[in-house]
Amino acid sequence: MGLEIDREPRVNIQVTDGVLLPEKSQPTLFNSWAIAFTLAVVLLVVLPIVRPDPYWNILVTFPAGILVTFQVTVSAIILATLIGIFVGIGQLSKRTFINRLATVYVEIIRGIPLLVQIFFLYFALGRFLRLQDFPAAVLSMAICYGAYMGEVFRAGIQAIPRGQMEAALSQGLSRGQALRLIILPQTVKIILPAIGNEFIALLKDSSLVSVVALTDLFRQARNYASVTFNYFDAYLMVSLVYLVFTLFLSRLVAFMEEKLKQHD
């Protein structure tokens, strides 16, 4: 007697930095996001008013660090995107050497923690590369996130129907031209939300660059805490600032994704 097994359809589970973002049919998630964002903003405004010392004194040290944090994040995500394009294409290449090179790069980089990569590039290779703190921070983060961006581009390119390439080749385009003019523009549209999520993740991980003496947002908080010993207050304020930034950017990514779906 055979045993019948009911097979349920597969469900893709996607976990991103936007898990608290609201869906129109899920008001509970909207409330969660709104409560978290509102609470963070209110605390950032109220605490410095109620207790200027230390909260206002902490807050006024942050602008320079915020600028450095965004400079590192934007520079790294641009470079990581360029790396990701070549890595993603390389993983799909029919040339064995290029395919293996791109795949090995992804496996090695994703298997090493970002903090270890920053230390290795800045301290271990520092005597050979002579990198300053800012280039070292940007390069290490770009190399790390380039591997993840490569996977994003690979998945995006594979999502484009093969008929698109075949149609382009039948019109006399070379594979390189078809990829550049036909495939990649469609790929970018598909993976734009994923790139936004990587940007948010990179923004949070940028706090690690403080280990190379770069005066980013987190290092400003550390410097204040080391002088005044107000560790709780300093780290509370920097946590709230990061929370506001990430929640705001997450909402922006969700809005962008919704607009892209409306144009499909």
Q: What is the pLDDT of residues 46-78, one digit of tens each?
A: 999 999 999 999 999 999 999 999 999 999 999
Best mean pLDDT range from 3-7, 19-23, 93-97, 260-264? 93-97
Q: What is the pLDDT of residues 204-248, one digit of tens each?
A: 999 898 888 788 899 999 999 999 999 999 999 999 999 999 999
Q: Exposure of 141 by Cβ count < 10 A (0-12 exposed, 13-18 middle, 19+ buried)?
A: buried
Residue 1 is which amino acid? M
User: CA torsion sign, 104 to 206 to 67 to 258?
Assistant: positive
204-231 per-residue burial string, b: 16 or more CB within 10 A, e: under 16:
ebbbbbbbbebbbbbbbbbebbeeeebe
Residue 108 is which amino acid? I
Mean pLDDT, residues 161-185: 80
H/E stretch holding 228: helix 217-228
Angle (deg, nearest 10), helices 62-91 and 217-228: 140
Residue-averaged pLDDT of the chain: 83
pLDDT above 80: residue 148: yes
User: Cα(110)–Cα(107) distance, rounded to whole angstroms?
Assistant: 5
**pLDDT of 183:** 84
**pLDDT of 129:** 79
pTM of the model: 0.83
Where residue 264 falls among pLDDT bands split at 50, 70, 90?
Answer: low
pLDDT exceeding 90 applies to what percent of the chain? Answer: 48
H/E stretch holding 231: helix 231-263
- For residues 128 and 62, the answer to whether their CB atoms sit within 8 Å is no
Q: Class for domain 27-263, per CATH?
A: mainly alpha
